[in-house]
C-alpha cells in the first residue's frame, strides 16, 4: 500500500487531483491519500514523525506559506520524499528544482500525465523500499532508513531503538521480526536484545563486539561461532562487491 499526500489550499483542486489519481487503481496500484489545505499542517505532521509519504503532490501557490517554503521545511526532516509540484504558472517551475522536486505539472492538471508521473514515482519508491528498513507506527510508515545507514537494533521490552551514526529512532516492535527480515540482508542477531549490521562491526572478542561508532554490545555465548562465520561471509561479499566495482 502506497501513501500519497496532496497539499493544496483549494478544495476544488484537491478533489480534481484526487479524482485523477484514481487512474492508478486501473494500473493495479493500491494507495491511500491524505489531504492538506495548508503547508503548515503538512510540515507539522512530518516534523512530529507521525507521517511519511511515498509521494507528495504539492501546490506552488498557497496562502500563508507557499509550496516552495513548505518543501524547504519538509526537506529539513525528509530529504528523499518525492515531491510532484503543481502550479498555475510556469514562471515558478524552476524554483521547484531547488527542493529536488520530481518535476512540475501545470494546472489544470492533465489526469493522464498525473497518473503517468505518479506511477513512475511509486515504482521508484517500491525499489527504494527494498534497500531500506521501513519504520511503522500503528500501520503507518513514519520513516525509511537505508540499510547501509543502520548500525544495529536494540530491544527493550516492546520498544525497538534503531541506531545510526546520526540518530536513534524508537518504535514499537519485536526484535525477532527484525531478525527474520534482515538476516538475509547482512544483519545478525548477536543477543536476545541486539541485531547488528555486520558491515559496521569494527572488532570482535569472545564476549562482545564493538561497532564503528564505538558502542560495545554483548554477544550471546551460543551465537559466537555462528557470528564468526557470518562476519567471514560478509567480508567475502564486500570483497567481491569491491572487486566488481573496480572491474
Residue 97 is predicted with a pLDDT of: 61
- Ranges of each domain in the chain: 2-129, 135-246
pLDDT tens-digit readout, 75-94: 887 777 889 988 887 666 56
- Cell numbers that stand for 156 in this block: 527493550
Instruction: Please tell me the CATH code under which domain 2-129 is placed.
Output: 3.40.50.2300
Residue 138 is predicted with a pLDDT of: 67
Residue 245 is predicted with a pLDDT of: 41
* Per-position DSSP letters for 146-182, written without gaps between them: EGGGEEEEEEETTEEEEEESS-EEEEE--HHHHHHHH
CATH 3.40.50.1980 describes domain 135-246: no
How far apart are alpha carbons 44 and 37 in whole angstroms? 13
* Per-position DSSP letters for 176-230, written without gaps between them: HHHHHHHGGGTEEEEETTEEEEGGGEEEE-SSEEEETTS-EEE--GGGHHHHHHH
> Residues in the chain with pLDDT < 70?
49-50, 90-98, 127-130, 138-141, 237-247
pLDDT tens-digit readout, 123-168: 887 766 667 898 877 666 677 788 988 999 999 988 999 999 888 9
Amino acid at each position: 500500500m502506497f501513501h500519497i499526500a496532496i497539499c493544496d489550499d483549494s478544495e476544488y483542486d484537491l478533489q480534481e487531483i484526487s479524482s485523477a489519481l484514481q487512474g492508478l487503481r486501473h494500473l493495479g496500484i493500491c494507495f491511500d491519500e491524505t489531504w492538506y489545505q495548508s503547508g503548515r499542517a503538512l510540515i507539522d505532521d512530518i516534523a512530529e514523525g507521525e507521517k511519511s509519504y511515498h509521494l507528495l503532490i504539492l501546490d506552488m501557490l498557497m496562502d500563508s506559506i507557499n509550496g516552495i517554503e513548505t518543501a524547504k521545511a519538509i526537506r529539513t526532516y525528509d530529504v528523499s520524499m518525492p515531491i510532484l509540484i503543481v502550479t498555475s504558472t510556469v514562471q515558478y517551475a524552476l524554483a521547484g528544482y531547488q527542493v529536488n522536486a520530481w518535476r512540475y505539472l501545470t494546472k489544470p492538471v492533465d489526469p493522464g500525465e498525473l497518473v503517468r508521473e505518479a506511477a513512475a514515482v511509486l515504482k521508484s519508491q517500491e525499489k527504494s523500499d527494498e534497500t531500506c528498513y521501513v519504520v511503522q507506527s500503528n500501520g503507518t510508515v513514519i520513516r525509511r532508513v537505508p540499510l547501509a545507514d543502520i548500525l544495529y537494533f536494540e530491544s527493550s521490552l516492546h520498544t525497538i531503538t534503531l541506531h545510526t551514526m546520526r540518530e536513534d529512532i524508537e518504535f514499537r516492535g519485536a526484535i525477532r521480526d527484525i531478525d527474520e527480515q534482515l538476516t538475509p540482508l547482512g544483519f545478525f542477531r548477536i543477543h536476545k536484545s541486539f541485531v547488528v549490521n555486520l558491515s559496521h562491526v569494527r572488532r570482535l572478542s569472545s564476549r562482545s563486539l564493538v561497532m564503528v561508532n564505538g558502542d560495545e554490545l554483548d554477544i550471546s555465548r551460543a551465537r559466537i561461532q555462528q557470528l564468526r562465520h557470518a562476519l567471514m561471509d560478509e567480508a567475502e561479499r564486500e570483497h567481491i562487491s569491491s572487486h566488481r566495482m573496480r572491474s
